[in-house]
Amino acid sequence: MEILLNGKPLDVTLENEKNLGEIINGVEIWLKNSDLLITSIKISDKELLSEIPEKWKNTLIGDIDQVALTVKPTSEVHASSLQNIVHFITMLKQAFSNKDVNLLHELNDGYPFMIESLSLLTKQYKFKEVKNYTLFFANHFPSINPQKVIALTEKELHEAIIIIDTLLTHLIEMTEEINDPFNSLQKCGEKIKTSIQDISEVSILLQTGKDREAMNTLVSFSDTLQKFLRIFLILKENKNINVDSLTISDMSIEEYASELNGFLKELIDAFQINDSVLIGDLLEYEIAPRLEGLIRFIEKLSTLNTHV
């Protein structure tokens, strides 16, 4: 049996494999560290991935002349999946907004697969906001029951559409991070620069009774750090980019993260005892300078774009 990989014969020696399922498992293990995923399995031009594995995995090797496999980079596959999910949820918003029974029926079949795919992607990329909204929506709508949607009050329908809109916004941001992490990294760096100025005013906001504004500033700051972490992990998983040798303020990335997390924990403790002076000191003398180091690190990361 001949195995083609992206149209070229794969130089591999079959040992104890007896059926197609064992062959595919072996190829997936071989691809595990190459940042590639199988996106197509064809025998005699028949696509097998559109069928459940139980239909073809027990096919004996002796009954197959040639199997053609197509593989693509993981990030490309995930970006494509996200685009399909964004399209699906856009259609879902339309169906909810218009209480379109026919469209709701059409979307209902693919809804469980969409939720499952989205859950896997958010686990992979640690996008907390998408995960939270996905779980919330899935819990309220375990299926897209047209009668249930039609029975929603105007208030309930409005709230559901807001959730869908928010989820779409986060998904589009997630798609941009995967498709163009360097551009997203640059935008994140600009946000961190803004955060340095914003967090310097937090203690003043607290002292003047503007607790909500202070908290919103810190939540935004936390979201920006989470965004950087997501983008960094995407870049780190790219086999063409070596980030392990880079340092932040003469520290390894792990040491820097540990130190910054320590000060962030102190900040949380200061909030719990409402110590505005300590909060101000931590933000101005400990956290802000380390953010300056993070900005320089982002600039170093951005230069890697020219080598990809």
Assessment of whether the complete model's pTM goes beyond 0.75 = no
Structure tokens at 290: 């380390």
Among candidates 294, 295, 287, which has minimal Cα distance to 203? 287
Residue 9 lies inside a defined structural domain of this protein: yes
Mind listing the pLDDT tens digit for each residue in 223-241? 888 888 888 888 877 756 7
Mind listing the pLDDT tens digit for each residue in 140-198? 788 888 998 899 999 999 998 998 898 899 888 888 888 888 999 999 999 999 988 88
The DSSP secondary-structure symbol of 16 reads S
pLDDT of 144 reads: 85
The DSSP secondary-structure symbol of 249 reads T
Say if residues 86 and 168 touch (Cβ distance below 8 Å): yes
Mind listing the pLDDT tens digit for each residue in 64-108? 889 999 999 887 888 888 899 999 999 999 999 999 999 999 999
pLDDT of residue 308 exceeding 70? no
CATH number at residue 16: 3.10.20
The DSSP secondary-structure symbol of 180 reads -
Structure tokens at 299: 């600039």
132 and 153 co-located in one domain: yes
Give the amino acid at 138.
A
92 and 68 co-located in one domain: no
pLDDT of residue 33 exceeding 80? no
pLDDT of 86 reads: 93
Residue 308 lies inside a defined structural domain of this protein: no
Structure tokens at 110: 């693919």
Write b or e for each residue in 179-201: b if 16 or more Cβ atoms lie within 10 A of its Cβ, otherwise e. bebbebbbbbbebbeebbebbee
**Mean per-residue pLDDT for 30-39?**
82
Distance from C-alpha of 150 to C-alpha of 263, rounded to nearest angstrom = 50
217 and 291 co-located in one domain: yes
Say if residues 192 and 291 touch (Cβ distance below 8 Å): yes
Among candidates 110, 192, 107, which has minimal Cα distance to 146? 107
174 and 190 co-located in one domain: no
Q: At 128, is the pLDDT very low, low, confident or very high (cuts 50, 70, 90)? A: confident
Distance from C-alpha of 296 to C-alpha of 308, rounded to nearest angstrom = 20
Residue 42 lies inside a defined structural domain of this protein: yes
**Mean per-residue pLDDT for 100-117?**
90
* Domain of 219, in residue numbers: 181-302
User: Phi first, then psi: what are they for 287, rounded to 5°?
Assistant: -80, -45
**Mean per-residue pLDDT for 39-49?**
91
pLDDT of residue 306 exceeding 60? no
Structure tokens at 230: 């997501």
Write b or e for each residue in 27-63: b if 16 or more Cβ atoms lie within 10 A of its Cβ, otherwise e. beeebeeebbbbeebebeeeebeeeeeeebeebeeee
189 and 250 co-located in one domain: yes
pLDDT of 93 reads: 93
Residue 30 lies inside a defined structural domain of this protein: yes
pLDDT of 131 reads: 79
Distance from C-alpha of 202 to C-alpha of 198, rounded to nearest angstrom = 7
132 and 213 co-located in one domain: no
With tokens 């020696």, the residue in question is 13
Residue 99 lies inside a defined structural domain of this protein: yes
294 and 207 co-located in one domain: yes
With tokens 């007896």, the residue in question is 18
pLDDT of 69 reads: 93
% of the chain residues with pLDDT over 90: 23
Mind listing the pLDDT tens digit for each residue in 233-277? 888 777 567 777 788 888 888 888 889 889 988 988 888 888 888
pLDDT of 109 reads: 87
